[in-house]
Structure 1
């Protein structure tokens, strides 16, 4: 075993390497801890020796100095607890060493990219003169690809290049997956001797085995911590909830000592706010105390070859190709399992392509219909069964227009979540979360919200946006007095268009029907139908036109006074006329003094 150390103003680290025939073992970490251990196997002893000498040269080039053989373990604090509480400088040191270990002794590096539209992962495992890449959506198995190179140095160079590309695109590294997890630093021995009765109880409890899990969730983080006591040792696993986390082991002279240290760590965690969420009992072991086990790192098992490309989600397109949908678009995969940058021309005439193209069109139509239906519920203030919202929430095309809309019932708030057993999760104007269990709810039109400005401010404070234009929808208050006795509004008259066809197209693009020379907006309010009609011209569509007045009629097409028009119908009619009028031709006025 050869030992090297690097000590400067920012860190104090060690690195050891032991050559054993056709393999070597590397141990590294902060001085004073057991560190981490990894083993690497090679085809021949000569290859192992060459890689051994190369790593030593790299370390000495980085400032490490050889000081002798392996020093005895001198752990001053329990590494499992220290990993959670270490300061930022120590974490940076460990990250540096972990990155080096991935290259030196094999391992997997994982990167993730999460934004409002997607959540993806990308992993790379360098193994000798090749590497394996796995990628896909977070939570899925993803797809796997392998690549071989003439030399290990070339494989490492290409891997570094891919990692640089991914981080340049916004991917962030979230942790490696070493093939062998070593024992970490030992916890300090408690002062004083324990009586035989206490030791016997602790040994019996330790021998029973089992995993206890604790979680800590707040606004800034969501972490877990697990401990499994097994005889005179225990294993700790910790990390972010939803990940595999990191694992550390610790051995003690007796089972009683292991149980005592485990209890101390559990008390420390619960004191910091961690809450126990369950346990997973392990198989019951023998009641006899086990001898102390020295920390050791086992050689990793041979890595299995990557399985053949999965056919799940892809259709056979012939000649070794397969077609599927990736990120909402049709993608092609070759016989090796690689997803191509574009779909080859000859595949676009296959039955599989036409089938997928039809499916995407159907999904696009479905998404539009979902948005239109939700907007219709709001425009008509229709009663919506809570059970319907619970049923459709799982569909992203339904959830998107419903996300963050105002829902009213016994309570009113911004819709943030839907759970079958709890109801609708709302955030009210006080910023509190309430669960609405009313059987019937409504999505009120913004003109009906008395505290509209306050709701807009709350949505902004939450940093959220709405999939349906509700809170920030343009609204118009119905006038009072003499103006309310008129039967039309001329505010949007005399809007010039070069062609009537242009005015008709603008109205239709905004989602309004054109009939009888008018753009039409139909609203049901309180069970009564009202239709806003904005004149945009009739006749030859190739002739120029000018807009006229905005008026309202009832279901029998009888003219209504503004005072007879409901607040929603008036606001939506004004919104329609304003949007079309904004598309008119604007004449450039020449300066009179020019």
Structure 2
């Protein structure tokens, strides 16, 4: 984006998502102000650029959120759609280096490009750049990737940085002994917060929702929507707040699921939520939780 005149003295532009100014008569185009001078902050050119910067930020967040949804749900995404989205920098940042799987497990790699014909260019674990033309691809949740550790090692060697957390996303696998009548997990229960409002703020800042006295996350796992819930203490009965056990239920929330019926993605994402809430608990000055 070029520089725009803002009065007779300054020019403004959007640089790395921030509106900056420079002298219109400066000796070098590289000389630009770190902050906007007070006298031009209310000019229409500046305000328009600031609104545009805010829109770009929201757009980038929306793109990343959509790719995250595709990945967590392992939904099939048309290759032609990726090709149409690729020219957009925000979409490209969210999609680049996401691990995709084409028509078979041998068509797995880090996405590097998508052209107008729907052809995808990916880097495989063998270090080869190959071109794929599947009708759709999936971006598997990491708990479903059999070569996850190899992908992590290879990504480190390549210097891969994903715009959407996938291969380095924290994962949990259901333990082998989860075959009884149990319907909840207490591994991360009992995390103490200063108040119910601090706990609810932590929940929403992580992207989860508060429903009643629970933190909830809706997860599409194997074509079935499951709700993971972490209990919360009563805001009206206690001065402080605590997290409770983690459980899963069908989408409508009326039937709690025995652990045997919880799928791998729902298990991992539920445990991830519970662990994140536990990590944000109140810590005293001596370091004790």
Q: 1:417 aligns with which of 113, 128, 144?
A: 113
Q: Secondary structure at the match of 2:269?
A: helix
> For 1:395 and 1:531, how far apart are their aligned partners in 2?
33
Distance 1:485 1:426, change over 3 A: farther
Q: 1:492 aligns with which of 182, 188, 191?
A: 188
> For 2:47 and 2:287, how far apart are their aligned partners in 1?
53
Q: Report if aligned partners of 1:537, 1:547 keep a CA contact under 8 Å in 2.
A: yes
The answer to whether residue 256 in structure 2 is matched with residue 559 in structure 1 is yes
Q: Report if aligned partners of 1:406, 1:444 keep a CA contact under 8 Å in 2.
A: yes
Aligned residue pairs: how many? 279
CA displacement 1:220-245 (0-9 Å, x = unmatched)? xxxxxxxxxxxxxxxxxxxxxxxxxx
The answer to whether residue 76 in structure 2 is matched with residue 383 in structure 1 is yes
Q: Which has the larger radius of gyration?
A: 1
> For 1:422 and 1:364, how far apart are their aligned partners in 2?
27
Q: Report if aligned partners of 2:80, 2:118 keep a CA contact under 8 Å in 1.
A: no
Shift of 1:319: 3.4
Give 2:214's aligned residue.
518
Give 1:322's aligned residue.
11
Q: Give the 4+ runs in structure 1 shifted more than 6 A.
A: none
> For 1:542 and 1:564, how far apart are their aligned partners in 2?
34
The answer to whether residue 25 in structure 2 is matched with residue 336 in structure 1 is yes
Q: Secondary structure at the match of 1:533?
A: strand
CA displacement 1:509-568 (0-9 Å, x = unmatched)? 111111112111111123211010001333249920111100011112121111111110
Alignment map for 1:81-160 (pairs within 5 Å): none
* Consecutive unaligned residues in structure 1, runs of 5 or more: 1-311
Alignment map for 1:15-30 (pairs within 5 Å): none
Distance 1:426 1:485, change over 3 A: farther
TM-score by length of 1: 0.45
More strand per residue: 1
Q: Report if aligned partners of 1:382, 1:443 keep a CA contact under 8 Å in 2.
A: yes
Distance 1:329 1:556, change over 3 A: closer
Give 2:281's aligned residue.
584
The answer to whether residue 108 in structure 2 is matched with residue 444 in structure 1 is no
The answer to whether residue 53 in structure 2 is matched with residue 364 in structure 1 is no
> For 1:320 and 1:362, how far apart are their aligned partners in 2?
27
Q: Secondary structure at the match of 1:548?
A: strand
The answer to whether residue 85 in structure 2 is matched with residue 392 in structure 1 is yes
TM-score by length of 2: 0.89
TM-align CA RMSD: 2.2
Q: Report if aligned partners of 2:40, 2:46 keep a CA contact under 8 Å in 1.
A: yes
Distance 1:484 1:455, change over 3 A: farther
Distance 1:501 1:542, change over 3 A: farther
Give 2:167's aligned residue.
471
